[in-house]
A and B are shown apart, each in its own frame.
Chain A
Amino acid sequence: MSPAKRARGSRKSIAGTGRKHHFDVVIVGAGVAGAMVAYRLAQAGASVVMLEAGVRNPGRIEMAGAYAVAKIKSPHSAYVQAEADKNAPSPDGAADYEQAFTNPDQLYKSGYERRTGGSTWHWLGHTPRMLRADFEMRSRYGGASDFPPGLVNWPISYDDLEPWLCEAEWEMGVAGSDEEWQDLFGSHRSHPFPMSMIWPSYSDMWIAGKINGARFDGFEYRVRSTPSARNSSLYDGRPPCAGNSICVPVCPIGAKYDGFVHVAKAMAHHAELREQCVVNELDRDKDGSIHTVHFLNYQGEPGTVTGDVVVLAANAIETAKLLLMTGLANTSGEVGCNLMDHLSKSTYGIVPEKLFPFRGPPSTSGIESFRDGEFRAQRAGYRVSLNNDGWARRGTPQTQIVDLVTKQRLIGQELQAALFDQVTRQIRLSCSVEVSPDHNNKVEVSPDQKDGLNIPKPKLTFTPSDYSFRGLVHATHALQDMLRLLGAKQSDIFDANAADPKAYDGAGHIMGTCRMGNDPATSVVDAQCRTHDHKNMFIAGAAVFPTAGSPNPTLTLAALALRAAKDIGEQLGFKTQSIAMRS
């Protein structure tokens, strides 16, 4: 309870239930963003409740087993649960959304997990930082008439966020190479990574030996280990990675960070977690503040809690949907707009050397050379990932076995030799391309589709810009160039969508819809993630990103959440604690 409220003695309970009704902070969503805010504020002494639409997971071994026998190996395959999927559905890809489109190939393709701990259960764990330039896109590269109008400056700089990026790295437990990542494109690091890097794979090192120093279109290839929230040593009571290779959808041993780590830490500081609570309404007081949060449980029974501060942390799609349903925080008209992802694409090759894929984390290294430069005045930047999963996404090894037996009629030792020779030389390179924000790419409330609780589902519109497609085409050419440098014959290089240079996959990086800015007329939240319209309501998560850059978003959203927790604490009279940085 905040000191002010404590003085007024306002704490209440629901009659007969013994459950507290009023909290200092009500948090909607117990994913990584909500959990970090809950942890920091509960640790500071605030009373906190997390309202989570989903359910808690069974044990990791059960989830790995569910994945093992799932017919479709999608991110959601380890999390199928009939009641939750009915009442708080978790979209698993483009087909699970209602979408408005003009081109059926250009859709929103990334899903999310409504579950205690959120989508970090099935993330890859990669935590590259945004670059200094990513916060200053308009002032650095704007000016040309075809520069996307949505590519704005953030209201904060890299330097403003840098200490919080360090905090997030220490909270999550990030393994990385200080040498490789210091001052990348002028983006300094003030503290070392908490753990030494995840070791590069045998394949990564062979590739580095072949392409480091070579150039494509003026850009120098340099393979770097990818920072990851995955333990390289015992950290925070969790074991080092054993290379089980199924980070997506679930780490069987908890070596990879997920949001439940901080849900548990918050609960250890007496934060309350209420699961199966699907928030459907927020009341606006006469003074414009938001204190009352309504929800339905899976039986459709209503419930209510109140808070001095309300934090929406339900991911960029669900947070925007809730605000649009309630008509709140939208004086700017920007709620739901500027929906982003990264455009992902894979290119496959067979190289002369055996690289032994299907071992270790699915990706351990990447190439950052294409992320920034003057070219961003004309086209998007991107990251490149080197992957350790062979051609699993093309159906290896099963399709290979069928071909070898039925077409080449190989069995026994001959079959083994052929599989060994072919599969061990498979490689997949992929890219993750910046999507420029666009007012017309948006989340709306579906007028027709409802979930099991009769709550509207989201309706999406998403068409990437030519700016992003130009980046995608450049990336595709770079990936093919790399495979040629690695010795792959042209006939052994496969682009799954060669016929359509604009074909892309989703990256699972849901961003935008409640953008941060200084001007209430053009943004939803201020630089502290506080909604312009309601001074006691905050938004935590990637919803507040004004632009996306090209890195995986979780580290940045975690840093913003920790930073917001400090401001919320100050607003309520609590002093949050930072991690004592070790030098």
Chain B
Amino acid sequence: MLDDFMALSRVLTGVNELDDDLGRQYLSRLNGGSFQPALQKALDQFRKLRKGATLVQQVKDKIVGADDLRGIACQIVLLWYTSLVQDNLDLQHPPPSPSFSYGTQQQYFSGLVWRVIGAHPPGLSGGYFGHWRYRPENEPK
């Protein structure tokens, strides 16, 4: 199950170097409670797809494009990018105020979104005095 979750995560995030240990933790957060049926269905669907050059488009069509799987696809991206899950994600009736839950400190500081935007996790810059004056050294190309 972890292998499939990691493979699907790589497609959804667009990042190939994902940490297996974090993946195990994220899988555990989703593989229980209300997320479990949709996660299982998404992974079942993912296993049916032909691996190859068109995999991203197939995931877009068959998982992100499916009304009952789009939400869990979003949660997987949210986890890897921010360590959050949205507790009240409802695509049919979007809540007026989204509510998110965090995981562990390790997960928070491992969020991928910060490098996607050329920044750093809040609280962990790893930078020198004044680095904010310049374009980021990790600016995506």
Please give the residue numbers on chain A whose beta carbons come within 8 Å of chain B beta carbons, in ascending order. 64-65, 67-71, 199-202, 205, 232-233, 240-246, 252, 356-361, 364, 388, 395, 397-399, 401-402, 405-406, 409, 411-416, 419-420, 423-424
4 more A-B residue pairs beyond the given contacts A202-B135, A243-B131, A398-B84, with a C-beta to C-beta distance below 8 A: A243-B130, A360-B133, A411-B13, A414-B14
Q: Chain A CB within 10 Å — which of B81, B86, B99, B128 has the most?
A: B81
Residues of chain B with a CB closer than 8 A to A406's CB: 70-71, 74, 89, 91
Contact yes or no, A364 B132, CB < 8 A: yes
Given contacts A246-B123, A402-B86, contact A68 B108 (CB under 8 A): yes
B 63-101 contacts with A by CB, 8 A:
64-65, 70-71, 73-74, 77-78, 81-82, 84, 86, 89, 91, 98-101
Contact yes or no, B117 A205, CB < 8 A: no
Complex A-B, nearest 6 residue pairs according to Cβ-Cβ distance, in ascending order: A360-B132, A412-B14, A358-B119, A68-B108, A240-B129, A199-B130
Contact yes or no, B125 A245, CB < 8 A: yes
**Nearest-CB distance from A416 to chain B (Å)?**
5
28 example contacts (A-B, Cβ-Cβ < 8 A) are as follows A69-B104, A71-B99, A71-B100, A201-B132, A202-B133, A243-B127, A246-B122, A356-B117, A356-B135, A359-B131, A359-B136, A360-B131, A364-B132, A388-B132, A397-B82, A397-B113, A398-B84, A401-B82, A405-B70, A409-B60, A409-B64, A411-B12, A411-B13, A411-B56, A411-B73, A412-B11, A416-B140, A423-B117
Given contacts A69-B108, A411-B14, A411-B77, contact A419 B102 (CB under 8 A): no
Contact yes or no, A242 B125, CB < 8 A: yes
Contact yes or no, B13 A412, CB < 8 A: yes
Residues of chain A with a CB closer than 8 A to B134's CB: 202
Contact yes or no, A242 B89, CB < 8 A: no
Cα distance, A245 to B86, chains bound together (Å) = 24
Cα distance, A205 to B123, chains bound together (Å) = 24
Contact yes or no, A416 B116, CB < 8 A: yes
Q: Does B103 contact A (CB under 8 A)?
A: yes
**Nearest-CB distance from B39 to chain A (Å)?**
15
Please give the residue numbers on chain B whose beta carbons come within 8 Å of chain A beta carbons, in ascending order. 11-14, 56, 59-60, 64-65, 70-71, 73-74, 77-78, 81-82, 84, 86, 89, 91, 98-105, 108-109, 113-114, 116-120, 122-136, 139-140
Cα distance, A68 to B109, chains bound together (Å) = 8
**Nearest-CB distance from B28 to chain A (Å)?**
16
Cα distance, A79 to B63, chains bound together (Å) = 41
**Nearest-CB distance from A328 to chain B (Å)?**
43
Cα distance, A344 to B14, chains bound together (Å) = 39
Contact yes or no, B123 A67, CB < 8 A: yes
Closest chain B residue to A252 by CB distance?
B123
Residues of chain A with a CB closer than 8 A to B140's CB: 416, 420
Contact yes or no, A420 B118, CB < 8 A: yes
Contact yes or no, A244 B11, CB < 8 A: no
Closest chain B residue to A200 by CB distance?
B133
Residues of chain A with a CB closer than 8 A to B81's CB: 397, 401
Contact yes or no, B124 A420, CB < 8 A: no
Contact yes or no, A359 B119, CB < 8 A: yes
Cα distance, A283 to B118, chains bound together (Å) = 59
Residues of chain B with a CB closer than 8 A to A200's CB: 133
Residues of chain B with a CB closer than 8 A to A70's CB: 102
**Nearest-CB distance from B41 to chain A (Å)?**
17
Given contacts A242-B128, A359-B131, A402-B74, contact A69 B102 (CB under 8 A): yes
Contact yes or no, B133 A205, CB < 8 A: yes
